[in-house]
């Protein structure tokens, strides 16, 4: 698949934003995060800002962005439509939670309920996003058991690292949260490596014979269905060189997983404000690494339609 930056940024930003929103909604509601005005304003602003920026960027990949509202009508059959409905619905409890925390200065009572509902909505939206890709049978690299859990793991991972940076910025960092960030990052690393190994060994069950329905012998194309590049080849037939793929995988592992873990380990041994600086750097580096990981997620996917072009 062609890795358009708008979709790459969308999946990265919304994953981190929803992860942060879910953690804030649960932890603040349970009293583990103090109802400080600036902490709430910056935390909720960052979470909702990432979500909004990601959703707006996704519209840039549409041929007719002004018709994006029509996608909401197909929620009975389309995971894309369900994602839109879930994302909009999540803004309601998230907005109430932000008002209660920032304006009223409280995170208990009905505000805590709104926070939990916002967390549920965030998890549901990430699930619908993952299912958009996991449900596509023509793309074997996505239609696997690794896709949906990967979306949830990466969202929790990036959201927790962002929350850790936020709390350390206010000198209220938690060792338990820090340990959770490292464990989630290591889990994400292992899951990504396992996904790559699965995809590299993947045997596509479809070939030119089964795709065309012509049994017997070997089917080959004498010439392409089109005389020049078209939408199908640009969007569905993108190919990344093997050496570039290997290098980008290394960059992903260094930026998204290894570097954040090392920086978070250093945070354990350093006092504030050095811990705050390293925590912020870990979140920034990990976000950059996840942009590379998302690019590879799209670039390495191969659509069955490319069989008609001899690929």
- Backbone phi, then psi, for 99, in 5-degree steps? -65, -45
Q: In terms of CATH, what superfamily is 5-309?
A: Formate dehydrogenase/DMSO reductase domain (1.20.1630.10)
d(CA 296, CA 141) in angstroms, rounded, equals 11
Per-residue confidence band for 140, with pLDDT thresholds at 50, 70 and 90: confident
pTM over 0.85: yes
**Taking Cα atoms as reference points, which of 204, 217, 45 lies closest to residue 138?**
204
Per-residue confidence band for 304, with pLDDT thresholds at 50, 70 and 90: confident
Mean pLDDT in residue range 269-295: 95
d(CA 62, CA 70) in angstroms, rounded, equals 12
**Taking Cα atoms as reference points, which of 192, 199, 154 lies closest to residue 11?**
154
Q: Distance between the two ends of the chain, CA-based, in angstroms?
A: 13
| Low-confidence winner among 67-71, 134-138, 142-146 (lowest mean pLDDT) | 67-71
- Backbone phi, then psi, for 139, in 5-degree steps? -115, 100
Do residues 184 and 212 touch, judged by C-beta distance below 8 A? no
The percent of residues in the chain predicted with pLDDT above 70, rounded, is 82
d(CA 269, CA 267) in angstroms, rounded, equals 5
Per-residue confidence band for 146, with pLDDT thresholds at 50, 70 and 90: very high
Do residues 263 and 279 touch, judged by C-beta distance below 8 A? yes
Q: Which long-range contacts (CB under 8 A, 24 or more apart) does 79-84 make?
A: 79/128, 79/131, 79/132, 79/135, 80/132, 82/128, 82/131, 83/125, 83/128, 83/129, 83/132
214-231 burial code (b ≥16 CB/10 A, e <16): eeeeeeeeeeeeeeeeee
The region that residue 16 occupies, defined by phi over 0 for left and psi between -120 and 50 for alpha, beta otherwise, is alpha
Q: Where are the domains of the chain?
A: 5-309
Per-residue confidence band for 64, with pLDDT thresholds at 50, 70 and 90: low
Mean pLDDT in residue range 140-161: 95
pLDDT attached to residue 223: 65
- Which tens digits make up the pLDDT trace of 7-60? 899 999 999 999 999 999 999 989 899 999 999 999 999 999 999 999 888 776
pLDDT attached to residue 301: 83
pLDDT attached to residue 138: 83
């Amino acid at each position: 698949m062609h890795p358009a930056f708008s979709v790459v940024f969308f999946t990265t930003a919304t994953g981190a934003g929803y992860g942060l929103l879910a953690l804030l909604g649960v932890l603040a509601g349970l009293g583990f995060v103090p109802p400080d005005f600036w902490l709430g304003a910056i935390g909720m602003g960052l979470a909702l800002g990432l979500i909004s920026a990601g959703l707006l960027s996704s519209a840039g990949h549409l041929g007719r962005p002004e018709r994006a509202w029509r996608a909401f009508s197909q929620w009975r059959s389309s995971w894309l439509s369900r994602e839109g409905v879930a994302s909009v619905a999540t803004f309601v409890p998230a907005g109430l939670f932000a008002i209660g925390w920032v304006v009223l200065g409280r995170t208990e009572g009905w505000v805590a309920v709104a926070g939990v509902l916002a967390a549920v909505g965030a998890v549901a939206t990430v699930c619908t996003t993952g299912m958009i890709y996991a449900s596509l049978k023509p793309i074997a690299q996505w239609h696997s058991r690794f896709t949906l859990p990967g979306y949830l793991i990466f969202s929790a991972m990036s959201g927790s690292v962002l929350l850790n940076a936020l709390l350390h910025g206010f000198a209220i960092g938690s060792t338990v949260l820090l340990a959770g960030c490292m464990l989630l990052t290591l889990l994400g690393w292992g899951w990504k490596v396992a996904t790559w190994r699965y995809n590299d060994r993947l045997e596509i069950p479809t070939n030119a014979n089964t795709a065309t329905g012509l049994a017997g012998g070997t089917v080959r194309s004498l010439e392409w269905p089109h005389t020049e590049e078209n939408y199908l080849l640009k969007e569905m037939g993108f190919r990344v060189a093997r050496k570039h793929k290997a290098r980008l995988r290394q960059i992903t592992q260094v930026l998204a997983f290894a570097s954040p873990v090392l920086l978070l380990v250093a945070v354990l041994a350093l006092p504030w404000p050095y811990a705050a600086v390293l925590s912020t750097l870990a979140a920034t580096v990990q976000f950059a690494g996840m942009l590379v990981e998302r690019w590879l997620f799209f670039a390495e996917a191969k659509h069955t339609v490319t069989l008609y072009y001899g690929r």
